Amino acid sequence: MDYLYYLANASLTLRVVEYLHTMPWLPVRFMTVIHQIDGWVVKIKLHRPLDPQEDKDFRAFLNELGISYEPEIRVRMALWGLETGQSPVEVMRRYQVAVVSHGHPDRQEIEEFRKQFVQGLGYCPETLA
């Protein structure tokens, strides 16, 4: 079972990571985070489907933070590449996307990306807030 959402900024993305850490019963297989110039793409793949009430609750949480997302072909291919075992670096080169994190939901990778990006720019864009 997959959940694919578009979030406006880093803080919302970090809230998803925190939620997944506080809900250990969710059978998370991996979480992928891709930064785009105007927001964040988050894909959560589970080991098994949730029961209807769990699915409803999880979607309600995600809908509070962002919108369900249908990616363009380049992002779709990047997500597929990561899922089939290609390295994040290889995927970034091939599809020209910024893969921030792939695997176990990791707050540290997102924080580090945000820090380095802001440091390089010299200011904090809205999507990194």
Q: What is the pLDDT of residue 24?
A: 87
- Measured from the Cβ of residue 110, the count of other Cβ atoms closer than 10 Å reads 22
pTM of the predicted model, to two decimals? 0.91
Query: What are the extents of the domains in the chain?
Result: 2-128
Q: What is the pLDDT of residue 116?
A: 82
Measure the CA–CA gap between 87 and 93, rounded to whole angstroms.
Answer: 10
Element of type H or E holding 112: helix 107-121
Q: What is the pLDDT of residue 124?
A: 62
CATH 3.40.710.10 describes domain 2-128 = no
pLDDT tens-place string over residues 17-66: 999 999 988 999 999 999 998 999 999 999 999 999 999 999 999 999 99
